[in-house]
Amino acid sequence: MAQRALPLSSLPRSGAGLWALLVAGLVIGPVTAVIWRAGGLGALGPADFDALWFTLWQAAVSAGLSVALAVPVARALSRQRFPGRGALIALLGAPFILPVIVAVLGLLAVFGGNGLVNQLTGALGLPRIDIYGYHGVILAHVFFNLPLATRLILQGWLAIPAERFRLAASLDAPVGRLLERPMLRRIAPGAFAVIFVICLTSFAVALTLGGGPRATTVELAIYQAFKFDFDLAKAATLALVQLALGIASALALLLLSPPDGFGAGLDRLQARWDGRSRPARLGDALWIGFAALFLLTPLAMIVLAGLPGLMVLPVETWQAALRSVSVALGATALTLVLALPLATRAGELAGLLGVAVSGLVLGTGLFLIVQPLMRPAEAALPVTLLVNALMALPFVLRILRPELDAARADFGRLAATLGITGFALWRIVLLPRLRRPLGFAAGLTAALSMGDLGVIALFADGEHATLPLQLYRLMAAYRMEAAQGAALLLLTLSLGLFWLFDKGGRANA
């Protein structure tokens, strides 16, 4: 007789392969369209090579600065206790769900032409700073990634066993050389790689703060090929370059297997005996103060400047907000539907395609596919929804898979003896066990989609704009008061969606 007694691992996983193929197809289809349309790399001009060079250069500088600044901040957070420490560490997770365009507006309020810093330097008779250009792009990238780098490195610090610190203290041995430097040598390259890859595909920052021959990324060049030249072949060729960049960096990430930024319990405090001297404490206080000021001031400015703007929001902004919420909810639903059957090792690899292929590359491909069939503007919202879902998929899989594996390990055999299979297995066992991570994952997806300013910029006209695009248009039209109001609205909606879903996952669980 056949050996049909089911090995445990295969029990509830039927169909995962099919889903993986579907997701891969959703990515590969547009990529094929890009490759087919692209004129080959020979079609690249000097400006395109400049864009490639700038993309690599700014990503390296942004990642390097983020990690270098994160090291002293993380060390200070790891060894000093002070009121508000937990809140500050929680806040370090916020930029992940903070809409890029909102943060840019906040940075403009601090570092922009009429920003706080220039008012200060103006009063002191110092030269003005100009945020537009490569330094603005790097500043914004550090703003976004310093918190991530700090979290990753802080995790490394907290992973050093408490016994080691006790041993070092009892021997009066130098903690830095003995414990901290080896940890940093292990953690820092991975953190650098993650941030480097994030900055490679950054579009909204380059769109708002960059531009011109010295601050155009490949993604921005794709957008410009669409919008200014409507040169689809050139856009496709550039998308091919971005694709190669993405695949190379995704492979590098796989090899480096960097640390995971979602780790819980970062507000734990270890007993430490170093860093007690007055200079050490003063230095730590300065670093923490610098980080808090750097991160909090732009956020505070959005709230302060946004409140009056809420009153003068044009009606299109409210319509755009409604569209954005719909897209965010749709993307959340689609991501979860795709993610649940995909939460396996193979599925996670398929999901990684979403990391390797940037939103603009996917958007270019989808544009090429859609264009002969319908007006691209009409496809703007569905395409945005789809791309948002694919972009969020790797994060969602990373969150869900360990929990799903645990639920299967704990209750798979019990479910099997009770004959709970197929849909009933999801309904009765797995979904209830996954409530918390599902809520968190849904919140992340909704917030990411709500704040996304990427592929929508290629497709939309005035009637199909999302809130981030509408906000960008207000900025471009120098309607700053309305833009700041829209930014506050967008911030509230993004954080609100995240909070609602995350809370829903925790209730009665």
User: Stretches 27-35, 196-204, 268-276, 420-428: which one binds other proteins (CB under 8 A)?
Assistant: 420-428
Q: Which of 46, 125, 127, 419 binds other proteins (CB under 8 A)?
A: 419
Q: Which of 75, 234, 433, 473 binds other proteins (CB under 8 A)?
A: 433
Q: Which of 130, 229, 410, 461 binds other proteins (CB under 8 A)?
A: 410
Read off φ and ψ for residue 172, nearest 5 degrees.
55, 40
The reply to whether 413 sits near other proteins by the rule CB under 8 A is yes
Q: Pick the closest to residue 324 from 460, 436, 195 (CA basis).
A: 460
Q: Which of 2, 264, 311, 315 binds other proteins (CB under 8 A)?
A: 2
The reply to whether 277 sits near other proteins by the rule CB under 8 A is no
Q: How far is the CB of 422 from other proteins (least distance, A)?
A: 10
The reply to whether 426 sits near other proteins by the rule CB under 8 A is no
- Note the Cα 206 to chain centre separation in Å: 15
The C-alpha angle 498, 152, 453, rounded to 5 degrees, equals: 40
Q: Which of 90, 346, 414, 476 binds other proteins (CB under 8 A)?
A: 414
The reply to whether 13 sits near other proteins by the rule CB under 8 A is no
Q: Which of 198, 389, 429, 455 binds other proteins (CB under 8 A)?
A: 429
The reply to whether 6 sits near other proteins by the rule CB under 8 A is yes
The reply to whether 432 sits near other proteins by the rule CB under 8 A is yes
Q: Pick the closest to residue 393 from 20, 63, 11 (CA basis).
A: 20
User: Stretches 41-49, 78-86, 145-153, 428-436: which one binds other proteins (CB under 8 A)?
Assistant: 428-436
Q: Compute the distance between CA of residue 298 and CA of residue 111 in angstroms, rounded to an integer.
A: 9
Rank residues 132 and 411 by Cβ distance to other proteins and give the closer one. Answer: 411
Q: How far is CA 86 from CA 89, 180, 444, 453, in A?
A: 5, 22, 21, 31
The reply to whether 292 sits near other proteins by the rule CB under 8 A is no
The reply to whether 285 sits near other proteins by the rule CB under 8 A is no
Q: Pick the closest to residue 237 from 137, 365, 328 (CA basis).
A: 365
Q: Is residue 226 within 8 Å of 366, Cβ to Cβ?
A: no
Burial 486-496 (b: 16+ CB within 10 A, else e): bbbbbbbbbbe
Q: Is residue 472 within 8 Å of 457, Cβ to Cβ?
A: yes
The reply to whether 148 sits near other proteins by the rule CB under 8 A is no
Q: How many residues bind other proteins (CB under 8 A)?
A: 25
The reply to whether 428 sits near other proteins by the rule CB under 8 A is yes
Q: Pick the closest to residue 365 from 448, 451, 279, 459 (CA basis).
A: 459
The structure tokens 């349309």 sit at: 37
The structure tokens 């864009």 sit at: 51
- List of residues contacting other proteins (CB under 8 A): 1-8, 410-411, 413-414, 416-421, 424, 428-429, 432-433, 435, 509
